[in-house]
Amino acid sequence: MVCTHPHYRSRGGYVLLHLPGNSSLGVLEKCTEKITAYYSRIMTNEPTIERLSHGRVVCTMTFTPEQETASQEKAVRKLGASIIIEGFRPGTAPVDLLKEKIHEGALFEETVRGLLPDTFEQLVTEHDIKPVIAPKVEIESNTPLTVKVTFIEKPAVKLKGADKIKVTMKEAMLKEDAVDKMIDYVLGQHQQSNPVERPAKKGDRITMDFWGEDAQQVEVPGVRSQSHQAVIGSKVLLPGFEDELIGLKKGDTKDFTLTFPEKHQAEQLRGKPVTFHVTVKQVEEISLPELTDAFVQEHMQADSVAAFRKEVEDSMKSQESDIERRKAEEEAMEKIREAVQVDLAEELLEDEQRTMFEDIQSQLSRQGMSMEDWLKNTGKSAEQAAKKIKEQAEKRLTLRLGLAALVEERNLDISDEEMESAIATLLSPLSEEDRKNIAAAYAKGQNAYEQLKWQKKVEKLLDTIITT
């Protein structure tokens, strides 16, 4: 039987092409196109997509042998770039020779890593996946190479009674003597001191060395101080300490025992008796300048004492108002968090914990401390600290998701004009040179720009909740 038209069929992994004897070159090209399409079809496997609870999207992807081979060759070239084989420049030897010098596990890992960027982009684009953290990748099979990619999308958020959340901001109030105390503090910045040989009295400044020991006569760490200065009656030292200094002269020594308060910042000293050993190095009499129009004109750039007092009062009221605003914001955010109903994926929690842990490490590094130092100072074990961080991570995530849901629900946005004003205000304290250097970071679309925009959205949201 004679074949009168071109056709192909597969057999044993090969494609058999049958052509009539009089086939033209055009017919051959069309058949080649069909074969290429056939190979493309059988070598490309559609991923399986599972949308699960907690915002998880699990994608299983099997790569074609051609994809794996191409990625492996790139991996060999990358890992073998510095491998020296006799007769070849580093990294230029044939792939097969380089492959023999590379550890199998490292090569497989790099091969998979090379496949992932395009895989992620394809999955996210073609299946409308909106991940909020980096995906998790697991190897399901080596032959054929199959990976399971778990994306975490923003979970569904429900807000219970959020429309009824209201917070009343308290009016900023100053204590009767608050302004007088602040003016006294300002005058204290212009005080004059004179060394005296007489016994110390209230209002004098003492310069001293001291250290402390516990009931077992062991020195208490962190208590020793050299040339420490304190004004008797200022109440900046441990309760009772300044009273013990009254009557002492330069060169005097004194030992006395005080009990640390139960609410002292150093947990290990709370309620503990400590015996202090003090050596007085100097006693100074302090004199304050008289508050007059001439003084405020010269030192405070004010026209009169009355004008200066008004400036101090206004400044303190502004600061108190800022404090009350922050309290109201904290109350509002706590109410928002309590109104949020959301199931958080464990992967999302772990990512937030990791971020918080890295922030803590960064802060400690700037302070010249290690994680061990921090744990010791806080009196917590590593397990207790991890548990606390997890609790805080859950609260932070819940609040952030709640804020985002409310901002979207109330259709709050920040205009370009509002952003320009916000950026100008933010950068105004900087020098002209610093503003130029940092301006690019606040260009539209940059991370700093988007972070500031989000902050302004939250502020706008809180303005709808907080009343005065």
Whether the link from the prior residue into 144 is cis, omega within 30° of 0, is yes
pLDDT, mean over the chain: 88
Q: Is 207 helix (H, G, I), strand (E, B) or coil?
A: strand
What are 120-174's pLDDT values in tens digits? Answer: 999 999 999 999 999 999 999 999 999 999 999 999 999 999 889 999 999 988 8
Rounded mean pLDDT, 399-421: 95
Report the CATH number of the 305-467 domain. Answer: 1.10.3120.10
- Given this model, what pLDDT does residue 27 score? 53
Cα of first residue to Cα of last residue in the chain, in angstroms, is 97
Q: What is the mean pLDDT of residues 208-225?
A: 92
CA–CA dist 67, 46 (Å, integer): 14
Confidence tier at 14 by pLDDT (50, 70, 90): very low
For 21-25, 123-127, 293-297, which range has the lowest pLDDT when averaged over its residues? 21-25
- Predicted confidence (pLDDT) per residue in 241-284, tens digit: 999 999 999 999 999 999 999 988 888 888 999 999 999 999 99
CA distance 213 to 444: 60
Q: Where are the beta strands (DSSP E) in 302-458?
A: 340-341
What single-letter amino acid sits at 203? G
* Extents of the domains making up the chain: 7-43, 48-153, 192-287, 305-467
With a cut of 50, say whether residue 405 has pLDDT above it.
yes
> With 70 as the cut, is the pLDDT of residue 357 above it?
yes
The CATH topology of domain 192-287 is: Chitinase A; domain 3 (3.10.50)
State CA 17 to chain mean position distance.
62
Mean pLDDT of 64-70: 92
48-153: which CATH number, 3.30.70.1050, 3.30.1330.80, 3.20.20.70, 3.40.50.300? 3.30.70.1050
The pLDDT tens digits for 74-101 are: 999 899 888 888 888 887 888 888 888 8
pLDDT over 90, % of the chain: 69
- At position 50, the amino acid (one-letter code) is E
